[in-house]
Amino acid sequence: MCITITPKEKKKGIIKTRKLLTALQRNKGIFCIKKIMNKNNTIIAGVLGLVVGLGVGYWYGGQRASKQAYEKAVSDIKAQQEEIAKKAGEDAADKANPFKVENPLEGVKANPFSDAKKALNPFAD
């Protein structure tokens, strides 16, 4: 038999001592109180375990993400350095060879003004 306190009694601060004494004498009240305390301890332990689990998960996730970000940053920096070194080597090779010249007339027609002449002079054949 567990002792229940109604909201009215709780407001007034009245506890029925007779029921409490009889329950304690039969040791059912102590069992009931222990049962309630066990429920509270279970809830507290569950919440505490959940908080600790979330904390550990947050820490582990942060460590893992930091490690992956660091490795990605290192690989990106190496790729950029290789690209810069390759470009610098090509530029140095182009400057070192003065005889390497591109054809300035590549892609130019024989007479570039013939098209303009036709467009500007409607009387030309």
Does residue 3 contact residue 18 with C-beta atoms inside 8 Å? no
**Position 16 in a domain:** yes
Q: Please report whether residue 106 resides in a domain.
A: no
Q: Which of 5-19, 61-75, 78-92, 108-122 has the lowest mean pLDDT?
A: 5-19
Containing structural domain, residue 60 = 10-89
pLDDT grade for 113, boundaries at 50, 70 and 90: confident
Condensed to tens digits (0 to 9), the pLDDT of residues 26-83 reads: 555 455 555 656 677 788 888 999 999 999 999 888 888 888 888 898 999 999 999 9
Any domain includes 68: yes
**Does the residue 98 lie in any domain?**
no
Q: 50 in a domain, yes or no?
A: yes
Kindly state the average pLDDT of the residues 93-116. Answer: 71
Q: Domain for residue 114, yes or no?
A: no
Does 63 fall in a domain?
A: yes
- The kind and range of the H/E element at 94 are helix 28-96
Domain total in the chain: 1
Report the C-alpha gap between 41 and 39 in whole angstroms: 5
